[in-house]
Structure 1
Amino acid sequence: MTTPGSPDQSVRPAHLGARELSQAYAAARLSPVEVARDVLALVEEREPELNAFWVRDDPEDVLERARAAEDRWSQGRPLSPWDGVPLTLKENIPRAGVPMPSGCAGVEPVVPTVDAPITRRAHEAGLVVLGSTTMPDWGMLSSGHSSLHGRTVSPLDPAWTTGGSSAGAGVAAAAGYGPLHVGTDIGGSIRLPATWLGLAALKPSAGRVPLHAPYLGRVAGPLGRRVDDCAALMSVLSGPDPVDWTSLPTADVRWDELDGPVRGLRVGVWTRAGYGVEPDPEVTAATRAVADRLERAGAEVVEVAPWLTQDLLDGVNRFWQVRSWSELSRLSPERQAMVLPYVAKWARAGEGVGGVEVMDAYHAFGVVQARTVAAWAAAGDPDVLVSPVAPSAAYSADLPMPYPDDGRGMWHINFTMPWNMTGQPAGTVPVGATEDGRPVGVQVVGRPFDDLGVLRMMRWLEEENRGVPT
């Protein structure tokens, strides 16, 4: 029989959740060193195939961090409840002395001299950092294709995409390289890998997790195999920091209080985007099934009609193209030739775009914000909204994007992108699978700053979905 604080003996230490590890450390039933050794063994076994890491920290350094955590637990003075729990960080999150090439072979990598707030907080909490995970060129693909790293591969099936741009973070989570993983998201880069790899993940409210370089729409947040792990990591990462002038003030968020009633909640359901690519029937059905479950549990479910148009997504895409062209154009012809061809071709569409057109493209961000806020109000200010994460389940690993042709490169972010613009929290949790076994997640969007409300709904859906293949 498993006793309180005892890990499930049928699960290897690398696959245990953060809370299980914390309880086991506190009860001296498992040590951070044992866990680190098991994770390192798993990484050694699987990494030649999966390619989730850009930088794998020296195993002796990892074990030294684990020994320090073990000593603190034995003395009854852990730095946090998560002291000694393994963690990975996406390669665009600065770690002092670790090069940051942003997945691109054509650039001279930036080598930060100081840690990002995220990295600093991870160290302060005693998390055992394993290394930096991969991303595609400049983070501008929803796949694991990179001119520098080659291809990052799904541990579920190598024929399926990993998603991106937090490709390595998602793969590390799905492969069981410990429970905690940090990605970044500017239009879906946390949620897309999560839905295609069968993970739980959270794009936090804008400013909830401080960044080293704030940018419109960009956030950092957790990916994991369960909602509890996302909440645990948020308890470490959230809170203001002077480095990020957009960070939110201190808030008393009880990240461990994930139980909450469903009865009486107002839930919006949005299954028809009205722009980009409309979702496949199996994806729509998964979201509808979630809405039906919520209604049976006593929630008030209201339909949300489309509110955005194709020209707005095209404007957002055009602005990103110009931004990426500004990076590409500064490289020598020889280095430009080293950039992933799909990304280089996409970025070159920004060449020659005039100032008026750039401003029109930038204006699209504001229109998305305004129309999305208005649509939320028109739906009666729901407690949460549920929708597909992406129009399809995991697509072919051979493709750089799910719809790479005819200018449709970004058409799959139609359900995720609006919430980066409004800054509202949005997460995903697996709720089923397609006939051929590919995971399907549902997106849960919350009111402004209600990250906990999103996690509570995700946790409820996770519990409801136990036993459903994902």
Structure 2
Amino acid sequence: MTSALPDTDLTARTATELRAGYAAGEFTPTEVLRAVQELVDRLEPGIGAFAHREPAGNARAAAAASDVRWSQGRAGLLDGVPLTLKENIAAVGHPRPSGSAAFADAEPATEDGPAAQSTAAEGAIRLGSTVMSELGMLSSGVSGLHGVTRSPLNPAWTVGGSSGGAAAAAAAGFGPLHVGSDIGGSIRLPASWTGLASLKPSFGIIPVDPPYLGRALGPLARTVDDVALAMRVLARPDPQYRDPGYLELADAGWQRVTEQPITDGELRGLRIGLHADAGCGLPTDPEVAAAVHAAAELFARAGAQVVPVQPFLTAELLHLLDMFLRARSWADLVALPERRRDAVLPYIREWAAAAADMHGPAVFEAYHAVGRIRADTIRATRHVDVVLSPVAPVAAFPAEQHGPTDDPATALDHIAYTAPYNFSEQPAATVNAGFTTDGRPIGLQLAGHRFADVELLRVARWFEQACPRRDVRDRVLRPGSDPGD
């Protein structure tokens, strides 16, 4: 049956809704792909979400094959669902220049990485790879190779980073599922600043290639239901064992997020921690803090016990974490030929160069700080089931800035809420919690205990359902529209 819905309605469907529509014969993957591609053609020039689009013939062939599988009753979990992968995730035919002109000549991948492999195996239609900010070290959409990725909500606003292209694509409606990576907030910050749901999962449960301390892959979507659906596929073993740190969750039960919504009794039994003061870094904007307090009040009215979580990250530890990441980046830069190093954004070169004179003991002091952050975060949050906090202390800033302060000296002062959960290896999800008076989204971060990802998403879904409708799709600007409209 051919859908009578206009194409714009098809692009607004979530992955969960697409699966239901395919199963009912209301529309086909080919129709959905056509609608999404038309939307991308209209909006992408003003957004800049894609680093590399999948050849149109490949996508059409994938959609046609999905049409057949649905008609024969053998569709996979993501069959016919349009999906993107971040630029640093290996996908056949796509180069991985890491957002930097230093690697503009990167060769296309000849083999799918774990995330590309698992999503393709379940029938997802790959739309392309999304832009990441310069070398993944900016919380903005700025890239020396790709230029500036802009928010679909307002081109004057940042989309965040480093998974900025993924967030832009999700908010614009370029398919419902997008895979990013996160080492200090690079999934959650863009999700927050574009009004999305996301998950930085427990460390190790999604195979990462190449793996690195604190680094996780995870989905960005418009609903928690879609995040949970994506996790059913992403959190699978890699047959090639490219991530030796991968830990398979036995019978994780991701479907419980949607099939067994949290009950009133479960909610009344929860201890919810309220963490609205990071204790260091940028001060939290009053509008952001107010949205988090309002979320906590909603839980309290439903019967959960809300208790304060005192600041646990210190200025000293945040500084040492910053120096650890600078030292890592400086080592990478000095290993490059001069012509490539000179092509890296000056902002990144200046930020990393602060570690140029660090000696071995200083580097190890910074590294040991990561362990202290891990211990302090676990210790501070172990007495509650879920911690509510801002994702970022501020809402979206101007798109052209490298970060909230636009100053290399304070480049990481905004990650005090997000980074601790990378190094404690705990899961942290985001849900849109509202908007500032000028319309910028405010993200709520919900963090849980390690490997309690399913229970965390069940709580996040409750909040998403209990809130007034906060979908950003009706706020996306169309070509020729006025941000002030």
Following superposition, the deviation at residue 111 of structure 1 comes to: 4.1
Q: Contact conserved, 1:66 with 1:84, CA < 8 A, in 2? A: yes
Superposed displacement of residue 204, structure 1: 0.7
* Residue matched to 1:425: 427
Tell me which residue corresponds to 2:337. Answer: 332
Cα 1:220–1:188 shift into 2, 3 Å: same
Distance across 2 between alignment mates of 1:249 and 1:288: 35
Q: C-alpha distance in 2, partners of 1:451/1:218?
A: 16
> 1:253 matched to which residue of 2?
252
Shift of 1:403: 1.5
Supply the distance in 2 between the matched residues of 1:195 and 1:249 (Cα, whole angstroms): 28
Corresponding position of 2:96:
100
How do residues 53-452 of structure 1 correspond to structure 2 at under 5 angstroms? 53-78=50-75, 80-107=76-103, 108-109=105-106, 111-241=108-238, 242-258=241-257, 259-261=261-263, 262-377=267-382, 380=383, 382-405=384-407, 407-452=409-454
CA distance in 2, matches of 1:110, 1:412: 34
Alpha-carbon distance in 2 for matches of 1:112, 1:211: 16
The one-character-per-residue Cα deviations of 1:76-131 (angstroms, maximum 9, x if unpaired) are: 211x1321110000010011342111011013525433211111101100100000
Secondary structure (helix, strand or coil) at the match of 1:444 reads: strand
The SS at the match of 1:411 is coil
Judge conservation of contact 1:240–1:250 (CA < 8 Å) in 2.
no
Q: Aligned equivalents of 1:362 and 1:135: distance in 2?
A: 25
Trace 1:450-465 onto structure 2 (pairs within 5 A). Answer: 450-465=452-467
Distance between the aligned counterparts of 1:18 and 1:110, measured in 2? 32
How has the CA–CA distance of structure 1 residues 375 and 26 changed in structure 2, closer, same or farther, with 3 Å as cutoff?
same
Secondary structure of 1:33's counterpart equals: helix
Write the distance in 2 (CA, Å) between the matches of 1:82 and 1:372.
Answer: 35
Aligned residues of 2:404 and 2:414 also touching (Cα < 8 A):
yes
Question: Is the Cα–Cα contact under 8 Å of residues 106 and 331 in structure 1 kept in the other structure?
Answer: no
Counterpart CA distance in 1 for 2:145 and 2:228 is 32
Distance between the aligned counterparts of 2:5 and 2:293, measured in 1?
34
SS in 2 for 1:412: coil
2:7, 2:32 within 8 Å by CA — same for their partners in 1? no
> Residues 240 and 10 from structure 1, CA distance in 2 versus in 1: closer, same or farther, beyond 3 angstroms?
closer
Kindly provide the CA deviation profile for residues 213-268 of structure 1, in whole angstroms up to 9, marking residues without a partner as x. Answer: 11111000000111111111111111333221111124212223221132211111
Residue 330 of structure 1 aligns with an amino acid whose one-letter code is A
In structure 2, list runs of 5 or more residues that go unmatched: 473-485
Shift of 1:345: 1.1
Report percent identity of matched pairs: 48
Work out the CA distance in 2 between the residues paired with 1:260 and 1:177: 30
How many Å apart are 1:51 and its aligned residue? 0.8
Which letter does structure 1 place at the counterpart of 2:151? S
Paired residue type of 1:230: V
Question: Is the CA contact (8 Å cut-off) linking 1:267 and 1:383 kept in structure 2?
Answer: yes
**SS, match of residue 369 in structure 1:** helix
**8 Å Cα contact 2:432/2:442 also seen in 1:** yes
Q: Please tell me whether the aligned partners of residues 7 and 35 of structure 2 are also in contact (alpha carbons under 8 angstroms).
A: no
Q: Post-superposition shift, 1:468?
A: 5.2
Kindly state the Cα deviation for residue 308 of structure 1 after the two structures are TM-superposed: 1.7
| Segments ≥4 residues shifted beyond 4 Å | 6-11
- What's the Cα RMSD here? 1.8
How big is the shift at 1:159? Answer: 1.0
User: Which whole-Å CA distance do the structure 1 matches of 2:64 and 2:196 have between them?
Assistant: 29
- Which shows bigger deviation, 7-16 or 63-72? 7-16
Give the Å deviation of 1:9.
6.7
Is the Cα–Cα contact under 8 Å of residues 239 and 247 in structure 1 kept in the other structure? no
- How many residues are paired up? 463
CA–CA distance in structure 2, aligned partners of residues 252 and 8 of structure 1 = 38
TM-score by length of structure 2 reads: 0.92
Q: Any conservation in 1 of the 2:162–2:187 contact (CA below 8 Å)?
A: yes
- Offset from partner CA, 1:129-166 (integer Å, 9 cap, x none): 00000011110000000000011111000111100000
Task: Tell me the SS of whatever aligns to 1:419.
Answer: helix
Partner of 2:478 in structure 1? none
Deviations 1:259-282 (A, max 9, x none): 113221111110111111121111
Q: Is the 8 A contact 1:7 1:20 kept in 2?
A: no
CA apart distance, 1:373: 1.3
Counterpart amino acid of residue 44 in structure 2: E
In the alignment, the residues of structure 2 paired with residue 7 and residue 459 of structure 1 have an alpha-carbon distance, to the nearest angstrom, of 31
1:47-76 deviation per Cα after TM superposition (whole angstroms, max 9, x unaligned): 111110111011111011000010111112
Aligned-pair CA distance for 1:10? 9.2
Contact kept in structure 2, 1:432 and 1:469, CA below 8 Å: no
Displacement, 1:364? 0.8
Is the CA contact (8 Å cut-off) linking 2:347 and 2:408 kept in structure 1? Answer: no
2:479 matched residue in structure 1: none
Structure 2 distance, partners of 1:395, 1:218, is 25
1:18 corresponds to 2:12: no
Q: How big is the shift at 1:366?
A: 0.4
SS at match of 2:84: strand
- In the alignment, structure 1 segments of 5+ residues that lack a partner are 1-5
Q: Is the 8 A contact 2:205 2:249 kept in 1?
A: no
Stretch deviating more after TM superposition (190-199 or 254-263):
254-263
Counterpart AA for 2:394? S
| Aligned-partner Cα distance in 2 for 1:302–1:445 | 14
Structure 2 CA distance for aligned equivalents of residues 282 and 74 of structure 1: 49
Q: C-alpha separation between the residues in 2 aligned to 1:8 and 1:230? A: 25
Residue range with higher mean Cα deviation, 458-467 or 430-439: 458-467
Change (3 A) 1:21 1:469: closer
Please give the alpha-carbon distance, in whole angstroms, between the structure 2 residues aligned to 1:84 and 1:421: 35
